[in-house]
């Protein structure tokens, strides 16, 4: 009786050892296969820090009171960005389904042409003597050194003094980079006081 019980215990032990070994082998095999396929093909896991290859669209769909995806790059390197979109030549890097203005999105080019800065500014030019010219400037928000532009009378502006002209000057001179330089000339026989008030400006970045 004792021998019979002992044999059954030994048999159960060998069977258990075999099953455990088989389970380990299966786990390793499936695990390695899964690791090999991870990040490649439809249904594979997205592996961070690796190149993931799949020829199908990947969607992130949900209802969130805020962004559905946030990328935060804390690097201070000069080349650091939060997003890098790469496409073949002639292809758009992205598309959108909204015409709503995006806050803080700086896009100053349209079809390769720099879009002008425009707005309004208060100008109070000094008087111009007879048969003389003078150069002065006005501060324009967002203007950079080398930009050129023009001023246009807008509202609350008195009439021009006799024979006074205002001409734009390229962004060179002693004034800071955020200033638009312009020259006022008077071809009349008496001193003229150019108009002051709210002026519209247009700045072009070449």
Task: Note whether residue 129 is domain-resident.
Answer: yes
Here the CATH number for the domain that contains residue 170 is: 2.70.40
Same domain, 76 and 130: no
Task: Note whether residue 99 is domain-resident.
Answer: no
Q: What is the DSSP string of 64-129?
A: -SS-S---------TT--S------TT--S---S--PPPTT----EETTEEPPEEEEEEE-PPPB-
First to last CA, the chain: 102
Same domain, 9 and 87: yes
Looking at residue 75, its pLDDT comes to 95
In three-state secondary structure terms, 167 is strand
Range of the domain at 133: 117-204
Looking at residue 174, its pLDDT comes to 46
Same domain, 134 and 83: no
From first to last of its 206 residues, what are the pLDDT tens digits of the chain? 554 544 544 444 454 554 445 454 555 555 544 455 556 778 888 888 888 888 999 899 999 999 999 999 999 999 999 999 999 998 989 999 998 888 878 776 767 767 778 888 888 888 888 888 888 888 888 887 777 788 877 765 544 544 566 666 554 444 578 888 777 788 888 888 777 778 888 887 76
pLDDT tens string 143-174 = 877 777 888 777 655 445 445 666 665 544 44
Task: Note whether residue 185 is domain-resident.
Answer: yes
Looking at residue 77, its pLDDT comes to 94
Q: Measuring CA to CA, which residue among 158, 147, 149 is closest to residue 125?
A: 158
Same domain, 63 and 122: no
In three-state secondary structure terms, 150 is strand
Same domain, 178 and 142: yes
Looking at residue 13, its pLDDT comes to 47
How many domains does the chain fold into?
Answer: 2
Same domain, 129 and 196: yes
Task: Note whether residue 106 is domain-resident.
Answer: no
């Amino acid at each position: 009786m004792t021998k019979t019980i002992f044999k059954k215990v030994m048999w159960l032990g060998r069977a258990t050892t075999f099953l455990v070994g088989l389970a380990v082998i299966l786990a390793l095999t499936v695990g390695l296969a899964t690791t090999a396929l991870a990040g490649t093909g439809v249904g594979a896991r997205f592996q961070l820090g690796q190149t993931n290859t799949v020829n199908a669209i990947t969607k992130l769909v949900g209802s969130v009171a805020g962004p559905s995806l946030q990328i935060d790059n804390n690097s201070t390197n000069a080349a650091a960005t939060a997003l890098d979109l790469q496409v073949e030549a002639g292809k758009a890097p992205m598309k959108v389904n909204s015409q709503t203005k995006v806050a803080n999105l700086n896009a100053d080019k349209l079809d390769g042409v720099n879009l002008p800065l425009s707005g309004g500014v208060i100008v109070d030019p000094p008087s111009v003597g007879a048969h003389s010219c003078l150069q002065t400037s006005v501060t324009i928000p967002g203007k950079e050194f080398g930009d050129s532009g023009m001023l246009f009378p807008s509202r609350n502006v008195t009439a021009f003094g006799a024979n006074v002209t205002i001409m734009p000057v390229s962004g060179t001179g002693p004034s800071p980079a955020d200033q638009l330089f312009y020259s006022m000339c008077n071809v009349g026989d008496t001193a003229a006081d150019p108009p002051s008030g709210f002026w519209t400006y247009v700045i072009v970045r070449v």
